[in-house]
Structure 1
Amino acid sequence: MKLSILIPLYNKEKYIERCFKSLLDQGLSNNEYEIIIVDDGSKDSGAAIVDEYAEKHSNIQLIRQQNQGPSVARNKCLAAANGDYVYFLDADDYLATNVLRLIIALAVENDLEILEFDTKQIAESAALDFDSLTQNPQDLPVLVMDGISYVAEYGFRNEAWRYIVKRSLLVDAGVRFIEGTLYEDAIFTASLFITAHRMAKVDIDVHRYIVVENSIVTSKDRAHNLKFIHGMVNAIEHFHGLIKDLDSSHVDYNKVVKSLRGRQQAFVFALLIRTLKYRLLSFKDLKKILSRLNTYEAYPIDPKIGGIGEGNTRRFYNNFFVPIFNNKTCLFLGMVLMRAVPS
């Protein structure tokens, strides 16, 4: 079995069939790959749709569980996987046609532990786009490097659907999704990348990321946003641990530390923006969080490290927002003003 595609499912009946259609149009035989879905206690008919596909396709497996969150579902998917490589995909996304065969071939030919590829962001209302834009992908260079060098060269994005990973690397390194928190993708990806010995990125148009209204990312719900706040704090803490454990003798050590610290500060910045925008915390609670972030060397924000915005946006954020965020008196006044503005 070459590849296991692992999908957590929760109330995605509107999208799961589209996802399946793209996965079954990859030019692979059933014995080359499997699709494992863990239904996380969905309240819609998504699991019933999966059942219908599983009856027709021997390489589709459905596992049911009570609602425990996407991390638990992903870990359960992984425990059931048999593929040499695994790919974590979201149920509301899909893939371009006939791209997985090439991705698998490149990973095997180059003995890669991780292979990253390109994604395209599409609005939920936009027309379906199954055609890959990549021309002559077999001619694309594959530059293999260890994970620390890779992060120094390319940085990293949080999402686990940007790459396939050798299952043995996950098993040997003991990397899993942390359960009961948000931003688990960021922790998972960073932990995995700096552990790898052979990884690469290829400019192949593979994945379609669908921007879904009222998803957990775009939701304005107060409870969800509080989970985001605590998830960011948890991620910042884990990144602090990764930095402490990083091999200081590596030639790219300083670059990777800066990259990880930059990601920490991006989380701090996003945490403060979300706190102000949605009036989420009391100033007393925020002070406790900021004190905790200070012990992780993530606060105050250091503009020299980077990680907040790009180009002119970065300059604006660093010149306007960062001085306010780094001054607790100004931050408190900002919270008072935001509470006075009608939501």
Structure 2
Amino acid sequence: MKLSIIVPVYNLEDYIAECLQSLADIQLSPDEYEVLVIDDGSTDGSESVINTLVHKYPQIQYFYQNNKGVGAARNLGIQHAKGDYLWFVDGDDFVYSDKVKQGLEEAFINDLDVLTFNFTPVNEKGLPQTWVSFNFKSSDRNIVSGSEFYYYNYAKSYLWLCFFKRRIFLQHNLTFQNSIKMQDGEIFPRIMIHCQSLKHFNERLIYYRYREQSAVNSKNENARAHFYFSMVIVADSLRMFQQQIDRNENILIYKALSLKRKQLNQMLFTNFILNKYSYVTNKKFITLLKKYELLPFMKITGFTIKMNLVFNIVRHIVNVNPIVGRHIYQLIFKK
């Protein structure tokens, strides 16, 4: 078995058929790859849609679990996977059926630990978008280590843009955290530190669907709060991981983790002042940030000169009194 494609699903009846059909149409024989669909306790018609395709295509397998989150679904998929390589595909995305075989051949020819590739962003209806400019940074060498790749691309930790040797997960007991968002950012450096050979395949293999009602921009405060909580957990998890590794032996990963943690700290700050949360929710955030030593916030960079100045003035106030600082910012900009 060459490839195991793991597809977590939760209430995706409007998208899962397109996803699975594109995977079923991959130009490999059914005995060369498998599609492991993990239903994370869907309450809509996802199961019925999936089973229609399961009965039609032998390479598609269906597994059900009570709702535990995408991390638990991926872990279950890894347990059942038999392929040399793993590919984590979200159930609302779909793939270039005619290009996957080429990418897989590239991975096997070079005996790679990881193969990365490109994507096409699409809207909810599946129409191509131009809202994102995305390119992996790389050195002049054709094949690099995972540590080097992560150093240049720590801000682009997307699992669905990679084929991973399954052996890496098994040998190093790598698993996903069960119930948090931002799973990719938490586990990506843990994979990369064990990757000896990585190559970028300069072709698009997948369509990434941008949905308006994602956790980060949801109108539901509980969903947005859960995303914020997840950012805190990921930031702390990366801090602990950084403390565990030998800086001298893994200098690139170590430096990249410092940059990634700074990025997350900046995201926590901007999310805190920009989003509208209830007073009770904000107090919970403040308690959480202090518990994990993420407050005071770090210096803000990367925006325009004007916005860097504004954000850092507000940051100084927030670091003294988070509620007052947030209120001042929202009054000035009428958020």
TM-score of the two chains, using structure 1 as the length reference: 0.85
Tell me which residue corresponds to 2:185: 186
Tell me which residue corresponds to 2:298: 301
Following the alignment from structure 1 to structure 2, what is the Cα–Cα distance between the partners of residues 156 and 342? 30
2:20 is paired with a residue of what secondary structure?
helix
Matches within 5 A, 1:68-87: 68-87=68-87
Cα distance change, pair 248–270 in 1 and its aligned pair in 2 (3 A) = closer
Shift in Å, 1:325: 1.8
Tell me which residue corresponds to 2:108: 108
Shift in Å, 1:228: 1.4
**Cα offsets for 1:278-317 (capped at 9, x unmatched):** 22555654443343443x7x853145xxxx54xxx35444
Following the alignment from structure 2 to structure 1, what is the Cα–Cα distance between the partners of residues 180 and 210? 22
Shift in Å, 1:175: 0.9
The answer to whether the 8 A contact 2:106-2:201 is kept is: no
Indicate whether 1:274 and 2:271 are aligned. Answer: yes
The answer to whether the 8 A contact 2:265-2:297 is kept is: no
Indicate whether 1:322 and 2:312 are aligned. Answer: yes
Partner amino acid for 2:271?
A: R
Cα distance change, pair 268–166 in 1 and its aligned pair in 2 (3 A) = same
**Cα offsets for 1:28-78 (capped at 9, x unmatched):** 110110001011111111111111111111111001111111111111111
Shift in Å, 1:222: 0.9
Partner amino acid for 2:148?
A: S
Partner amino acid for 2:84?
A: D
**Cα offsets for 1:10-37 (capped at 9, x unmatched):** 1111111111221122211101100010
Cα distance change, pair 72–281 in 1 and its aligned pair in 2 (3 A) = farther
Provide structure 2 residue ranges, at least 5 long, that are not aligned to the other structure. 130-139
Tell me which residue corresponds to 2:203: 204
Shift in Å, 1:174: 1.0
Following the alignment from structure 1 to structure 2, what is the Cα–Cα distance between the partners of residues 231 and 83? 30
Matches within 5 A, 1:156-171: 156-171=155-170
TM-score of the two chains, using structure 2 as the length reference: 0.86
Cα distance change, pair 48–4 in 1 and its aligned pair in 2 (3 A) = same
Quick one: which of 258, 262, 265 aligns to 2:262? 265
1:120 is paired with a residue of what secondary structure?
strand
2:177 is paired with a residue of what secondary structure?
coil
The answer to whether the 8 A contact 2:36-2:61 is kept is: yes
The answer to whether the 8 A contact 2:24-2:60 is kept is: no
Between the two proteins, the alignment pairs up a number of residues equal to 321
Cα distance change, pair 49–256 in 1 and its aligned pair in 2 (3 A) = same
1:56 is paired with a residue of what secondary structure?
coil
Moved over 6 A (4+): 338-343
Indicate whether 1:336 and 2:334 are aligned. Answer: no
1:202 is paired with a residue of what secondary structure?
strand
Following the alignment from structure 1 to structure 2, what is the Cα–Cα distance between the partners of residues 36 and 11? 16
1:34 is paired with a residue of what secondary structure?
strand
Partner amino acid for 2:160?
A: W
Following the alignment from structure 1 to structure 2, what is the Cα–Cα distance between the partners of residues 247 and 314? 36
**Cα offsets for 1:112-140 (capped at 9, x unmatched):** 111111112111135379xxxxxxxxxxx
Cα distance change, pair 212–300 in 1 and its aligned pair in 2 (3 A) = closer
Following the alignment from structure 1 to structure 2, what is the Cα–Cα distance between the partners of residues 196 and 281? 44
The answer to whether the 8 A contact 1:150-1:200 is kept is: no
Deviates more, 1:143-152 or 1:74-83: 143-152
2:105 is paired with a residue of what secondary structure?
helix
Following the alignment from structure 1 to structure 2, what is the Cα–Cα distance between the partners of residues 248 and 176? 23
Partner amino acid for 1:229?
A: Y
1:224 is paired with a residue of what secondary structure?
helix
Following the alignment from structure 1 to structure 2, what is the Cα–Cα distance between the partners of residues 185 and 165? 13
Following the alignment from structure 2 to structure 1, what is the Cα–Cα distance between the partners of residues 262 and 84? 36
**Cα offsets for 1:202-245 (capped at 9, x unmatched):** 22111111111213343121111111121111111111122222
Following the alignment from structure 1 to structure 2, what is the Cα–Cα distance between the partners of residues 52 and 10? 17
